[in-house]
A and B are shown apart, each in its own frame.
Chain A
Amino acid sequence: MADISSHSSQSLPIVKQKIGRDDWTMRAFMVVIAIYLVVALALPLYVMMSKSFETYRFELDRFEIQVDKGDGWSDVTTVAALNQQVNAIGADELATSSDGRLGITKLFPDFSFRSKTNYRLRNIAGSDAVFLIGSERVAHNEWVKLSSNDFRRVVLRPSPSTGFDNFRTYFSTPALFNSVYNSLAIAFIVTVITVSLAFAFAYALNRSCMRYKGVFRLIAMAPLLVPSLLPGIALVYLFGNQGMLKELMFGYSIYGPIGIIIGSVFFTFPHAMIIINTSLALSDARLYEAATSLRTPRFKIFRLITIPGARYGLISAAFVVFNLVITDFGLPKVIGGQFNVLAVDIYKQVIGQQNFQMGAVVSVVLLIPALIAFSVDRYIQKKQVALLSSRSVTYQPSPSKIFDRQMFAYCTVISLIIVTILAVCQYAALIKFWPYDLSLSLSNYAFDLMDGGGWDSYRNSIKLALLTAMFGTIVVFTGAYMVEKARGFENGRTVFQLLAMMPMAIPGMVLGLAYIFFFNNPANPFNFIYATMAILVVSTVTHFYTVSHLTAVTALKQMDNEFESVGASLKQPFYKVMGLVTVPVCLPAILDIWMYLFVNAMTTVSAVVFLYSSDTTLASVAVLNMDDAGDVAPAAAMGMMIFYTNVGARILHAGLSRLLLKKTQAWRMR
């Protein structure tokens, strides 16, 4: 590995070439994939943003009214003018949502539905101003005569316009903006806990000589293979009112912040562990040698060398965890009880109340912390790359009986917790009727009798995962290749990089909602993919684009650009070099991307929950829906099916990697 990069430092200056056919082809590919990202990401987000400014108001000056109290019709007046006289409808009542209705009897303080008074009402703005008599819609411009008994059934409907009204409503409704505080608080607490736990775990893996490191590492990765809401189900079985260990809650309820925090720590743990593990593995042994020879005490070494050395990893892990928690939707939905968080609010607004505009507003609000966390993380990662360029010697831990035992004990406890949570889910899935009939049965696997799509949804999920992994890997790797290996075209490459980084900052819920707005529009030429498997594939590839892209870029950066130069000077087209050299060399990375996309497509809920149709129900969404309907045990059963599928895919991946590595990566051995 090391020899590739050391060669490049002595490489000859690359001969400047004219822009040839190859370059044009490569640029064309880059543009095509950039357009993909624009269509699948930038445009939907733009449409969603504009949706949040789409407001509905009762326009009182668009309705005219007349009264007859038995002495002939009064003068025609607009409802607005009438309201100015009696001041019955406040300005804050005029801003509403698309579903708004406004009764107008309060404009007449002496109104009685028994009186003989007659009313006449008409709209003067055409179909832009509609009123209802009961549920009957009146959109024409003629006068409508109404008895007082009918008049009390009249409600005005709002007219669409644009403005900041939705945001004003949002921030003046405590039930809504409290979620901002809740989400931030939860994300912060989880970040502190997860990073501390993951640091200790990674420290044990790197700095001790304890046994079974491989086993611990495998177990720590397991939460990656299940949907984030699965730990929620396990927690209900453990600590719910009928839970096996409910005494441990000391009367507190698991439904709410406590449950969200425990579950979030579970599903974010591997993410933090991977990042911190990498940064610990990279620290320089020479520093430790120097410190030891200076007889520095152990805790001082830890404070002055270990922590600073891993600081970028720690910060990066913190932001990743923060982002994951604040954008997660499944877990708070399952175990959040009444504790509102932003991601669930979006779902409630859109699915519960069909208030798409307010859903878009919450999405915009959710974007802000996610964007900040993301940009800080990017900034720090750049610094970390700079740190890596120093030529360090890898640290080799030396055995220490007490320390190794302590670390072993710690890792055992953490691993036991992870295994317990998964085991509880499996156990729950096999119990006939918890807690009254504890006999074992497979009846919870009869998914076809439950909400959520049955076994079809499991098959659909596998189809989605395979398609996502296949198309995603091709798109991502090609994009990364073009951006890394194309010559010149600096501006284009910068724009592309920016586009490729964006998906990471977009919460899945926001992406899903944006897709509804964008693709469900009949005027959109891509409208035909709405409610098909294709839109699920596109959204999933886009949602997980960034990490895959970075993996591909890292792998490509390891390869000297000289290969392309040599190829070009031998008058070989770029795809020949790509096919014969680059792809085989990068095969491990390509397989990793494939695996990453597969696993995430199996477990993701947030983006696809708005996009699946009855033909394309998914296993992960089925877990959510079955739990929602109260079929908790079948939900656990389906969750574990996802887990086993992912484990199977992982094993296959490991086997395949080993085989391919032997064939294609022999050159890496010295």
Chain B
Amino acid sequence: MKLIKKTTLASLFSGLMAGVAVFAMSSSMAVSAGELTVYTAVEAEDLKKYAAKFNEDYPDIKINWVRDSTGIVTAKLLAEKNNPQADVVWGLAATSLLLLKSEGMLEAYSPKGVEKLDKKFVDKSTPPAWVGMDAWVASVCYNTVEAAKNNLVPPKTWKDLTKPMYKGMLIMPNPNSSGTGFLDVSSWLQLFGEDGGWKYMDALHENIARYTHSGSKPCKLAAAGEIPIGISFAFRGAKSKAKGAPLEIIVPEEGVGWDMEATAIVAGTDNLKDAQTLVDWSITKKANVMYNAGYAVVAYPGVAKPVKFFPENLLEKMIPNDFEFAANNRKRILTEWQKRYDGKSDPK
């Protein structure tokens, strides 16, 4: 009895923390050669496939995925700035990687064959701090059933969306919590100019039912008929359409904003050699064919085949997105956006 009691009590404090230490240490300790900790925001269902394809060529390098949504992965990387846990970031928004780059957190590296990629997809510095994988393009998800109920005409342009007929029929992501929302806003500012962009959003705001936290939700809400029109991205729309939602994916004529999923090496990794191997592989033709399964636009020219349910004119409608402008003005744009539209959210 005495012994049992003693042990139980002794485990109270130390046990609670240290009892799990072994388990904890194994996951946080420096990764040995042949293993890479890779942070990613790629869809969960694709991760196993990505790792398997890579291991076909490099069976000795094991990938430990840490996956979350773009915002959380970025927050995590920034929070770990002084004590980085990741070796490689594979599949995170270029806007986020630019943020990390300006914090000096990325290891510049020119992967083998980088010259074969579309210039748009490679960081401008030499050697580049990151290289792109595939584009993630804004689009409008239009629910034909609900639209018919409300006698709507499909919009052709961004400007169309400000027509009074769409009042309360639109949902878009909040740029303060969603990367997709931000790429919409920054693309409008680039398309219509600073003043024109804000004027456009003022008018659009009148028609917006509400702003969501995530970028895929507007399209899923449109798919579910919760709202007729959701401003989201093409990939999401195509997936919902494949599931049988009565959706039409509209690419506004003025052009659409986009971001890309990109790859980079985290500065200070103790496994640089394997990290470089992975990044080299991530821009090969084989890898790009793999990205093409979900994304219609990929970094390697000539690889992309049309993806089912994706709008066809997507590539030509992509605006020449100035990522540097977006990154360096992000804080200013978000503050202005918040002042204009977030403060107005009075109870109805």
Contact = CB atoms under 8 A, between A and B. Distances in A.
Contact of A522 (B1, B82, B224, B348): B82
B268 to A, nearest CB: 12
Nearest to B339: A175
A436 B245 contact: yes
Contact of A338 (B244, B324, B345): B345
B35 interface: no
Given A526-B17, A528-B25, A613-B66, A173 B339 contact: yes
A201 interface: no
Contact of A182 (B16, B23, B65, B347): B347
B12 A338 contact: no
A174 B6 CA distance: 57
A269 to B, nearest CB: 22
Nearest to B101: A135
Contact of B2 (A434, A532, A575): A575
A628 interface: yes
A354 B9 contact: no
Interface stretch (B188-196, B210-218, B281-289): B210-218
Given A352-B213, A534-B17, A528 B220 contact: no
Interface stretch (A95-103, A286-294, A494-502): A95-103
Nearest to B44: A451
A171 B12 CA distance: 43
Interface residues of A, number: 91
Interface string B181-224: 00000000000000000000000000001110110111111011
Given A135-B102, A630-B219, A434 B224 contact: yes
Nearest to B143: A436
Contacts of A614: 65-68
Given A99-B99, A337-B210, A625-B69, A32 B12 contact: yes
B330 interface: yes
B347 A339 contact: yes
Contacts of B329: 101
A8 interface: no
Given A474-B12, A630-B219, A175 B28 contact: no
B74 A451 contact: no
B17 A356 contact: no
B343 interface: yes
Interface string A548-588: 00000000000000000000000001011011000000000
Nearest to B176: A352
A173 B244 CA distance: 44
B116 interface: no
A475 interface: yes
A529 B17 contact: yes
Contacts of A241: 225-227
Interface in A321-372: 333, 337-340, 348, 350-354, 356
Contact of B324 (A135, A173, A527): A135
Interface in B56-86: 65-69, 71-72, 74-75, 78-80, 82-83, 85
A252 B348 CA distance: 8
Contacts of B129: 135
B348 A253 contact: yes
B343 A175 contact: yes
A96 B9 contact: no
Contacts of A450: 44
B124 interface: yes
Contacts of A175: 338-339, 342-343
A155 interface: yes
B316 interface: no
Contacts of B218: 630
Contacts of A631: 220
Interface residues of B, number: 87
A36 interface: yes
A173 B332 CA distance: 14
B328 A352 contact: no
Nearest to B213: A628
Contacts of B347: 182, 185, 256-257, 339
Contact of A356 (B9, B79, B342): B79
Given A450-B44, A575-B2, A630-B221, A533 B17 contact: no
Nearest to A354: B75
Contact of B342 (A256, A338, A537, A613): A338
Interface in B108-159: 123-125, 129, 145
Given A174-B343, A532-B23, A579-B5, A135 B224 contact: no
Nearest to A538: B16
B243 interface: yes
B338 A135 contact: no
- Most interface-central of A132, A178, A528 (chain B CB within 10 A): A528
Contacts of B5: 575, 578-579
A524 to B, nearest CB: 10
B174 to A, nearest CB: 8
Contact of B28 (A173, A240, A530, A628): A530
Interface string B40-66: 000011000000000000000000011
Contact of B217 (A135, A527, A630): A630
Nearest to A541: B16
A479 to B, nearest CB: 9
A240 B226 contact: yes
B164 interface: no
A435 interface: yes
A533 B23 contact: yes
A240 B227 CA distance: 10
Interface in A127-173: 132, 134-137, 139, 153, 155, 157, 173
A255 interface: yes
Nearest to A154: B328
Given A132-B102, A435-B225, A531-B28, A36 B244 contact: no
Given A99-B331, A257-B347, A436 B9 contact: no
B324 A134 contact: yes
Interface in B10-36: 11-13, 15-17, 19-21, 23-25, 27-28
Contacts of B66: 613-614
A135 B213 contact: no
Given A242-B224, A350-B75, A433-B243, A99 B24 contact: no
Contacts of A174: 339, 343
Contacts of B83: 520, 522, 527
Nearest to A583: B5
Contacts of B328: 101, 103, 132, 134-135, 153, 155
Contacts of A573: 2
A354 B343 contact: no
A139 B104 contact: yes
Contacts of A81: none
A414 interface: no
Contacts of A478: 9, 12
Interface in B290-348: 324, 327-332, 334, 338-339, 342-343, 345, 347-348
B98 interface: yes
Interface in A407-463: 433-437, 448-451, 453-454
B324 A153 contact: yes
B308 to A, nearest CB: 18
Contact of B224 (A100, A356, A435, A576): A435
- Most interface-central of B11, B101, B124, B213 (chain A CB within 10 A): B213
22 contacts: A101-B331, A132-B102, A137-B102, A173-B339, A175-B343, A241-B226, A337-B210, A351-B71, A354-B71, A434-B224, A451-B69, A475-B12, A528-B28, A530-B28, A533-B20, A534-B19, A614-B66, A630-B214, A630-B217, A630-B219, A630-B221, A631-B220
Interface of B: 1-2, 5-6, 8-9, 11-13, 15-17, 19-21, 23-25, 27-28, 44-45, 65-69, 71-72, 74-75, 78-80, 82-83, 85, 98-99, 101-104, 123-125, 129, 145, 174, 176-178, 209-211, 213-214, 216-221, 223-227, 243-246, 324, 327-332, 334, 338-339, 342-343, 345, 347-348
